Amino acid sequence: MTVAVQQAPPSGSRRYDQKSTAPDFSRSAYCVQGLICDVVTMEQATQKIITSIKEGRRCNVATPNANFLRMIRSDPDFRDAVLASDLSVIDGMPLVWFARALGIAAAHRVCGSDLFSALMRRTSDRISAFFFGATDDIGRRVRERLERNTSGVRCAGVYSPGFGTIESMSDPRIFDIINQASPDLLVVSIGARKGLLWLNRNEHLLSSPVICNLGATIHFAAGSVKRAPVFFQHHGLEWLWRIKEEPELWRRYALDLTTLIAVLVGQILPCLVNQALHQPSAKQPSARLQHYRDGTAEVLKFSGAWTKDSLAPARSALAAATRTPSNLVLDFEGVTFVDAAFLGLVLITYGYQRRIQRGFFLRASSRQVQSMVRSHGCGFLLSAGQTRPEANSTLWPVSTHSLAIRKLWRTIGTHGGF
């Protein structure tokens, strides 16, 4: 079933221009066990979405939680899709607790469902949303509820794709339906993995400035599933309520809990030990950075200790290095320490390079630095460029460009430095 409501965009909004896709290295983003987590309040997240709509700037919103933490460890395609976001808000309380344990100040939970509710309450900046996912009945109920209530979100259309594959849901006719409705916001609800892979594959074919996979939000908006009481939400017990409402979810939450325990013991605690043992002192070399071009690659050579207090030159250099699409090499051979804030910038860079299908390579032979990177859940960065893009990947197919990237990596390895 398809319902497309043809209405003009709200005054002041602009359609997304692909040229406006660029990494924002000014983000207050941290690495939380391999995930990018923007430390923002609900108001800040809402304002970023509204600003992106008004400026026609792409904002790909991710809402990582414990389920994401589990899946990125076994699914490189899903991981890359999550890291290709422009705004990544902490959706689950366990990630908030992990962030606080790592010393990340003021880590707020910005749940995707609460974010949508905040947009509904913002009647001064009314936006349009297209809902892609769920069943025909759920789509009809969402449309009726939004049309009946006075809210900051109006329904531009709904589309139920059924339970097909990502390929079958990537029919050009579907994009025509969505784009002709001219929504400011595209809400995808076809499951976390399938939704993010679908968005990552088809982002360039969608005209909506803001795109996001908000999971159960469409069911909450339709009134078919009740949100947990506030007490449950604030104390990390929402999963118990979700199991009561949807008993089939118990397997997912059991697997997520297993991952949380494994990450706590195997990575969070070692990360805290690394921080205690190798915390930079005033006697250690300060952070230094060189940026130069080497053949087809932009090279950033880092040395010294890189922490949240020394990010300014890294932000500027990364912005300059990604101004035009190029392969990118990050040389950590002289690095002595990295923290979650610095690795947050590295993850933004990695996600952007994957997003534009360009090479990303990180060189770090120091066992101490490798241990720090791995304890932050970023071990995959140490092999990035050696094994990616994979031949079986639906996101980054092997091409002559990919072969050139691999040749570049072999050349770098052969010469052993810069």
295 with 230, same domain?
no
Q: How crowded is residue 403: how many other Cβ atoms within 10 Å of its Cβ?
A: 10
Q: Average the pLDDT over 286-303 and give the result.
A: 93
238 with 346, same domain?
no
Query: What pLDDT is attached to residue 249?
Result: 85
User: 304 or 406: whose pLDDT is higher?
Assistant: 304
- Give the pLDDT confidence of 246-282 residue by residue, as tens digits: 888 889 999 999 999 999 999 999 999 988 888 887 6
- Give the pLDDT confidence of 329-346 residue by residue, as tens digits: 999 999 999 999 999 999
317 with 373, same domain?
yes
Give the separation between CA 377 and CA 260, rounded to whole angstroms. Answer: 12
- Give the pLDDT confidence of 127-185 residue by residue, as tens digits: 999 999 877 788 788 888 887 767 888 889 999 888 889 999 999 999 999 999 999 99
* Total structural domains within the chain: 2
Q: Which letter, b or e, does each residue of 375-395 get, where b requires 16 or more Cβ atoms within 10 Å of its Cβ?
A: bbbbebbbebbeebbeeeeeb
* Token couple for 288: 């230094």
Query: What pLDDT is attached to residue 137?
Result: 82
29 with 100, same domain?
yes
Domain span holding position 16: 2-248
Torsion (CA) 83, 84, 89, 95 in degrees, nearest 10: -10
Residue 354 in domain = yes
CATH of the domain at 388: 3.30.750.24
Query: What pLDDT is attached to residue 386?
Result: 60
The structure's pTM equals 0.86
